[in-house]
Amino acid sequence: MSTSTRDRMIAGAADLLRRKGMTATSMREVVRYSNTPRGSIAHHFPGGKRQLLEAAVDHAGREVSEPLAQLLGKHGPVKGLEMFVALWRKILEETAFQAGCAVLAVAVEQYASDQRGESETELEAQIQLQLLDQANGIFVQWQEIISHSLQEAA
């Protein structure tokens, strides 16, 4: 199946987020990592880094929401969560614990940056706050999926 340039850039950005965090995920690095033309950035993401990272966080959120909902729906809350955790364990092991959850990476970015003593530009701070709000919304979706499964099982 052929994947569009835009989709490859989004998936690449999501993978970089989960491996390196927001600050280290530059547009140049996304182009290199996703093996896409540099001119594609302006074409597919006229809003720049903010727009690309928003799409990447949304993509990463769906990468968790969809299997979580499927496993809980098919197997119930206990077995479904056990299978979901096993899936994530496999992902972590396959990446030698170098790649985790991109949504979580966004959520802890400010704390991690503060601990390293890094300063950020005003634009990066704005992007980070926006992505943090987006991550919070995704966490709420995940909680709703689990809550719904628990209510259905009761």
Domains of the chain plus CATH, in order, are 5-153 (1.10.357.10)
Q: How many CA atoms lie within 13 A of 124 on its CB side?
A: 15
Answer yes or no: are the C-beta atoms of 102 and 57 closer than 8 Å.
yes
Alpha helix ranges (H) inside the chain: 5-20, 27-34, 40-44, 49-94, 102-116, 122-153
Which are the contacts of 153, defined by CB distance < 8 A and separation ≥ 6? 76, 77
Which pLDDT value is given to residue 113? 58
| pLDDT tens figures, 46-81 | 999 899 999 999 999 999 999 999 999 999 999 999
Higher pLDDT, 153 or 122: 153
Whether the predicted pLDDT of 116 surpasses 60: no
83: confidence class by pLDDT, cuts 50, 70, 90: very high
Which pLDDT value is given to residue 121? 78
Answer yes or no: are the C-beta atoms of 64 and 91 closer than 8 Å.
no
pTM for the full model?
A: 0.88
User: Mean pLDDT across the stretch 110-134?
Assistant: 74
User: Mean pLDDT across the stretch 87-102?
Assistant: 94
Which pLDDT value is given to residue 152? 94
Answer yes or no: are the C-beta atoms of 64 and 103 closer than 8 Å.
yes
Which pLDDT value is given to residue 119? 55
User: Mean pLDDT across the stretch 115-139?
Assistant: 81
